[in-house]
């Protein structure tokens, strides 16, 4: 069985993208799903969170994208994947040199489909592959959008965050002109403060305008997210009964309810 590929993407930073990738991975792992989280962001926030440091000598996604021989990429993929400690999923780490790929691959044919070509190698090994995407348009984001089955767009519930959603929509619209099928997406409201009128208004606007394209799950503000990050763990491991942990469990249930869709 092929894994379901989830790209967590937004062209605005600070909206809970990495938190969503890691927390959702942990929630799916808790449910018994086999999960791989791939860190496509050159800032390597997810990798560092999980204890994979850029200065260490290890195989990373940079090596995968640089390899011109498709057959060798599978060997590189196998060598870079390792269990993340105490979080319930495997990880493929990032490297700061991923930022050089725009130049490195500028003349490479098929450079937007490198990741998609690797996904067949993960068949029967994982139920879900979660891609933590960079917050800007480029070869990495294009690879993620081309490879994925669903784009999860974390959106902070304030009015400025609407701009980032418009940008990712524009990117998907451009790619859809060349792809055999439209890119599927769902918006995930994050950093929701029920006491704030602005948050309530943005959520209402989302529900009104996007309807079925918005998850039922809402991720609340929770100080436990920051504590978990400082400890190199996910909120499910640090504060399993917290509102944030419960919200990501709900998101995992919402996703797995449509596993055969």
Domain extent, residue 73, equals 4-255
Any domain includes 97: yes
**Can you tell me whether residue 146 is helix, strand or coil?**
helix
CATH of the domain at 192: 3.40.50.300
Residue ranges of alpha helices (H) inside 44-120 are: 45-49, 61-66, 70-80, 101-104, 114-119
Number of neighbours of residue 261 by Cβ within 10 angstroms: 9
Any domain includes 260: no
Domain count, the chain: 1
Any domain includes 261: no
Render pLDDT for 148-203 as a digit per residue (tens, 0 to 9). Answer: 999 999 988 887 777 778 888 889 999 999 898 999 999 999 988 888 888 888 88
Render pLDDT for 63-110 as a digit per residue (tens, 0 to 9). Answer: 999 999 988 999 999 999 999 878 899 999 999 999 999 999 998 999
Any domain includes 16: yes
Any domain includes 117: yes
């Amino acid at each position: 069985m092929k894994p379901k590929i989830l790209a967590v993407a937004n062209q605005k930073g600070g909206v809970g993208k990495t938190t969503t990738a890691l927390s959702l991975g942990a929630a799916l792992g808790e449910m018994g799903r086999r999960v791989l989280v791939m860190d496509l962001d050159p800032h390597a926030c997810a990798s560092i969170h999980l204890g994979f440091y850029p200065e260490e000598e290890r195989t990373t996604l940079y090596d995968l994208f640089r390899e011109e021989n498709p057959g060798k990429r599978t060997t590189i993929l196998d060598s870079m994947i390792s269990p993340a400690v105490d979080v319930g999923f495997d990880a493929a780490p990032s490297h700061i040199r991923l930022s050089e790929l725009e130049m490195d691959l500028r003349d490479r044919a098929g450079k937007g489909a490198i990741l998609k070509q690797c996904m067949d190698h993960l068949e029967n090994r994982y139920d879900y592959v979660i891609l933590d995407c960079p917050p800007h348009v480029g070869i990495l984001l294009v690879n993620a959008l081309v490879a994925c089955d669903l784009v999860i767009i974390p959106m902070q519930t304030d009015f400025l965050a609407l701009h980032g959603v418009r940008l990712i929509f524009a990117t998907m619209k451009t790619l859809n002109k060349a792809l055999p099928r439209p890119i599927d997406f769902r918006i995930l409201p994050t950093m929701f403060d029920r006491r704030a009128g602005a948050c309530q208004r943005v959520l209402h606007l989302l529900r009104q305008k996007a309807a079925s394209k918005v998850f039922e799950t809402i991720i609340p503000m929770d100080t436990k997210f920051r504590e978990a990050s400082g400890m190199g763990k996910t909120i499910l491991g640090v504060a399993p009964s917290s509102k944030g942990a419960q919200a990501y469990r709900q998101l995992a249930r919402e996703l797995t309810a449509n596993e055969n869709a």
